[in-house]
Structure 1
Amino acid sequence: MEIQTPGQVERYRGFVLIPEDDLSWQVRPERSPMHVLPFRTPACSIADVKALVDWRLARLGRDRRPQPKAELLPKSKGNGWQLTDMQDQQKTA
């Protein structure tokens, strides 16, 4: 867990992350209009706070990072045991 001293403000994806004395974080948008309201987090690491910001942006559809294209993702072949059972049933029928 990364420990930051109070007063070390960090900027991340349009937000200001402000550490508190009790190891919690205050997260505020840098500018208006505010799409995400200011909020506080429980005691956690900076990586957890960044993940929470990413999650909130994704939930609102405001995540502008490039997403992987569907054709580049590995294709799902299902469960091998289910296909094998179905093939065995077809052979015996």
Structure 2
Amino acid sequence: MALLGRVREKLIAVLNVPNPSRSYDASRHCVCFWGYDNSREITFMVDDAMLRNLQPGLGTDERSVLGAFDEFREKVLEIANKQYVAGPQNRYSIS
């Protein structure tokens, strides 16, 4: 799904996240996941500090951070959909 329709002559972009894959980037302290707008791949990086806001006391190891992401996945996807705007940008940071 890429475009739903027109609202006041603006195209509405729809982000599709069909794959539950995610990875932890220890050097950036974030969880990365990917969504698609038509054939364009969009990268999202979720700062581990943001996940700590959702789950106080979250550990700093990869397993803990990925577990928190999985637990709050729907909330993170909701935030990603609100941030995403169709256009040339293909990387978003959620913090």
Bigger Cα Rg: 1
Larger RCO: 1 or 2 (CA < 8 Å, sep 6+) = 2
TM-score class, shorter: 0.3 to 0.5
Q: TM-score, normalised by structure 2?
A: 0.32
Higher strand share: 2
